[in-house]
Structure 1
Amino acid sequence: MTDTPNRSRSIAGRVAIVTGAASGMGRATAKLFASEGAKVAVTDLDLAACQEVARECGTNARPYALDVSDKGAIAATVAQIAADMGRIDILVNNAGISRHASLDGGEEYENVWHSALAVMLTAHQRMVRAALPHLRKSDAARIVNIASTEGLGATPGLTPYVASKTGVTGLTRGLAVDLGPEGITVNCICPGPIKTNMTAAIPDEHKIIYAKRRTALKRYGEPEEVAHMTLSLVLPAASFITGAVIPVDGGLMVRNA
């Protein structure tokens, strides 16, 4: 049986935007998509870092500097990507920041709060709305929002991060309902403990202790393991999965003790 376009398990020739693609899970996702034949717009704050990732991806990638907290920059960059690459089929909202914030921190807490929501929640809906006219032209439009297990539980000192990531899970469900009639799927991945720049400052011995105590697999995950779940959700064949919130956490959320 020959696959119809919306049942294909290939993203070859599809155009994907990945935010926060200069490192970590975003970098792994961009490289994986490119290796699968997709054309990838590698976006992040640092153009030089984007250029390096694009080189790693090969001829299927282009770098774009993008501050996702800047509404105007989102509109301009998405329009430029569509003009350069001819279409947009896939959007992966991956850009993120993480800073501890004490409730007694005064103005510093306010700053962290506003930054967290701007980068990890408001930016998601702006990216979706900017890309939507192009996604509507695709026969298999896919949106994946990267949240966190902090959107399913909470760690002390991270209330701005927790609030933004919890908002992403709700935004995903809302978008899935709004866009479902058009065949556009919207799903959310909640990574657990992953080896990225955000966790680089944690000593390795502390990572080992935490993973053995909290996860079923007793280890930290690799960015590529999150990227593979993202790939699964953006396949044309993943046409009946939408509004899903999927932990990729080594069994963190299922372990009671």
Structure 2
Amino acid sequence: MFDVKQLSRSVKGLIVLVTGAASGMGRATAHVFAGEGAKVAVTDFDAGGAAKVAGEITEGGGAARAWKLDVAHRDEIDTVISDVAAHFGALDVIVNNAGISVRVAVDDPTYDEAWTSGLAIMLTAHQRIIRAALPHLRRSQCPRIVNIASTEALGATALHSPYSAAKAGVTGLTRSLAVELGREGITVNCICPGPIRTAITERIPEEHKTIYAKRRTALGRYGLPEEVAHMTLSVCLPAASYLTGAVIPVDGGLMARNA
């Protein structure tokens, strides 16, 4: 009979970097980690928004600092990663959350622009951030990488092909890096949110959201950013050390429902 080992379910003291953290799921993720005792680097293209979120956390007794980060620029990524590690003394967790809404027809004259920006922000940036953080993650006792994709990676919607392609790429990047980095104890997992109440979905009329959620999801409602953030936290626990390469829908049962 083997003893049952007591594995830690605490992220207290871990240094967590969240991109796109000024609003929505990124903001919720920063708050959830800070609420559990982690020290959070709140990064976003919107410097004022990032500073506001960091202020919310510190006013609530948590530990956070804001950095402006445009993930489309390699130089900014390298600088911010170095600054975060220097400020906190380490870097344990990367949450690649930053994204944009891309809706365009394949024959639209702006398609190439939408494709380039979509992949730059939602796929290329992920690997650049991971590569910049890797030397620090290799020194961590609990190295975790979480890539935020979407259920659009698992089932597509018309007029979203740049978005869907980028998010599908994220799932492939996740699995490949999980295999490549696994022997070093670095876990790499992917969260695929479904319909979530964020600034992007706020413009959808409430009536339409209700109809869609009841028709498509098992739970019959839109999710909250906090519900995604708690799954992100879960895969970063020290106790989650054997979970890697996973692609996890947080979608209220959208992908499980057949009709």
> TM-score, structure 2 length as denominator?
0.96
Q: Distance in 2 between matches of 1:46 and 1:117?
A: 19
Identity of aligned residues (%): 64
Matched residue count:
254
**1:243 counterpart residue number:** 245
Q: Distance in 2 between matches of 1:88 and 1:97?
A: 25
**1:162 counterpart residue number:** 164
**1:226 counterpart residue number:** 228
**2:10 counterpart residue number:** 10
**2:186 counterpart residue number:** 184
* Residue correspondence of structure 1 range 45-124 to structure 2 within 5 A: 45-58=45-58, 59-106=62-109, 108-124=110-126
Unmatched tracts of structure 1, length 5 or more: none
Q: Distance in 1 between matches of 2:5 and 2:132?
A: 31
Q: Distance in 1 between matches of 2:170 and 2:220?
A: 27
How far apart are 1:211 and its partner, in Å? 0.2
Unmatched tracts of structure 2, length 5 or more: none
Q: Which moved more, 1:120-129 or 1:51-60?
A: 51-60
CA RMSD after TM alignment: 1.2
Deviations 1:166-185 (A, max 9, x none): 00000000010010000000
Code of the aligned partner of 1:157: L
How far apart are 1:198 and its partner, in Å? 1.3
How far apart are 1:2 and its partner, in Å? 11
Deviations 1:179-208 (A, max 9, x none): 000000000000000000111110000000
Judging changes above 3 Å, is the alpha-carbon distance between structure 1 residues 39 and 174 closer, same or farther for their aligned structure 2 residues?
same
**1:35 counterpart residue number:** 35
How far apart are 1:99 and its partner, in Å? 1.9
Code of the aligned partner of 2:54: A
**1:207 counterpart residue number:** 209
> TM-score, structure 1 length as denominator?
0.97
Deviations 1:66-86 (A, max 9, x none): 000001100011001001110
Runs of at least 4 residues of structure 1 off by over 2 A? 1-4
Q: Distance in 1 between matches of 2:145 and 2:151?
A: 19
Q: Distance in 2 between matches of 1:31 and 1:251?
A: 25
